Amino acid sequence: MSMSTNNNKAPVSEEHLAYLKKVRRYKLSIRITQIAVLIVFIVLWEVAASLGWIDAFITSQPSRIVKTIISLAREGELFRHVSITMLETIIGFTVGTILGTLIAIILWWSDFLAKVADPYLVVLNALPKIALGPIIIVWVGAGPVSIVVMALLISIVVTVIGVLNGFLEVNPDKIKLLKTFGATKTQVLSKVILPASIPTIISALKINVGMSWVGVIVGEFLVSRAGLGYLAVYGGQVFKLDLVMTSVMILAVAAALMYQGVAWLEKKYLRWRQ
C-alpha cells in the first residue's frame, strides 16, 4: 500500500529545479503585468486630465483624488465615513450569515417546513430587495438601522438557499454511518452536516460580502447622512466628481480587504483541504 505523504519525495533533480524556476517566473510575470496595468491606467488618467484630453471636472483625476483623501483625512471626515460604512456592512453581513444559517438549519431539520417555505424563498430570492427600501425606511426609520436591515435582507435569502443546498448535498451514506452508531439528529447535525458544509458556508460568506456592500451603499443612497455611499451621492449632487471618485476608490479597497479577510478565514478553517 503506497502512502502519498510529502516526506518520501526523491532528492531534487536539476530538471525539477528548472521546472520550479519556470513556474515561479510565470507567476511573477503575471503579478508584474497586473501591477503594470494598474500603473498605466493611473498614469494615463492623470496625464490625460492634465493635458486636457479629458475633462477633469467630469472624470476627476488621480492627483485630485489623493488631495481629496488628504483633506478629508485632515478634517477627520475620512475615518468617520469609512468606519460608519464598514460597521454597517460588517453587521449586516454577520447577522445575515448567522441568521441565514440558523434558518437553513431549521429548514434542514424539518423537511415539511422546507417544502412549505420553498416557493416563498424562490419569490424572495427573485425579488429585487432594493424595492423594499421605502418600506424599510417607513418601518424602521431613516437611519443606520434601516441601512443594516437593507444589507441583511439582500444577503439572507441567498444564504438560506445556499447553505440549505449545502446541507442537503451531504452524502446520505455519511448520515447512515452516523446512524449505525446510534446518532441522534442533533449529533448528525453537529458531527457531519455542519462540518461538511463549512466550505459551502464560507462560499456563502464570500457572496455575502459583495451583497452586503450593495445593501449598505443603496441604503446610504436612500437615507444616510454619513458613510461612503452618502459621500458618493452628495458628491454627485453638488457635482464634485472628485468626491464621488474618491469614495468609489475607497469602497473598492475596503470591499477587497473584507473579501481577503474571508479568504483568510477559509484558509484557517479548511486546513484539511490543502
Partner 1 sequence: MSKQGIVSLEGVCMNYQDLEGETPALKNIDLEVQEGEFIGIVGPSGCGKSTILSLIAGLIKPCSGQVKIEGKEVEGPSSKVGYMLQQDHLFEWRTILQNVMLGLEIQKKANEENKKKVMKLLDTYGLGDFKNHYPRQLSGGMRQRVALIRTLAVDPKILLLDEPFSALDYQTRLALSDEVADIIKKEKKTALLVTHDISEAISMCNRVIVLSKRPGVIKSSHDIHLSGEKRNPVSLRKAPEFREYFNIIWEELDVHVN
- Contact footprint for partner 1 (CB under 8 A): 1-5, 171, 173-174, 176-183, 187, 191-192, 195-196, 198, 270, 272-273
Helix-strand-coil split of the chain, %, nearest 5: 85, 0, 15
User: What are the cell numbers at 78?
Assistant: 475620512
CA-to-CA separations, 229 to 64, 93, 171, in angstroms, rounded? 19, 17, 44
Assess contact for 235 and 219: CB atoms under 8 A.
no
The nearest distance, CB 267 to partner 1, in angstroms, is 14
Q: Which is nearer to partner 1, 192 or 211 (CB)?
A: 192
User: What are the cell numbers at 259?
Assistant: 473579501
Q: Which is nearer to partner 1, 194 or 231 (CB)?
A: 194
Q: Which is nearer to partner 1, 150 or 175 (CB)?
A: 175
Q: Which is nearer to partner 1, 137 or 178 (CB)?
A: 178
Q: Residue 255's closest CA among 207, 183, 219?
A: 207
The nearest distance, CB 269 to partner 1, in angstroms, is 9
The nearest distance, CB 200 to partner 1, in angstroms, is 13
CA 181/CA 117 separation, integer angstroms: 32
The nearest distance, CB 265 to partner 1, in angstroms, is 15
Assess contact for 147 and 230: CB atoms under 8 A.
no
CA 52/CA 260 separation, integer angstroms: 37
Listing DSSP states for 21-46 in one string gives HHHHHHHHHHHHHHHHHHHHHHHHHH
Q: Which is nearer to partner 1, 136 or 192 (CB)?
A: 192
CA 224/CA 85 separation, integer angstroms: 10
Residues in contact with 7: Cβ distance below 8 Å, sequence separation at least 6, in sequence order? none
The nearest distance, CB 120 to partner 1, in angstroms, is 25
Q: Which is nearer to partner 1, 112 or 181 (CB)?
A: 181
The nearest distance, CB 121 to partner 1, in angstroms, is 24
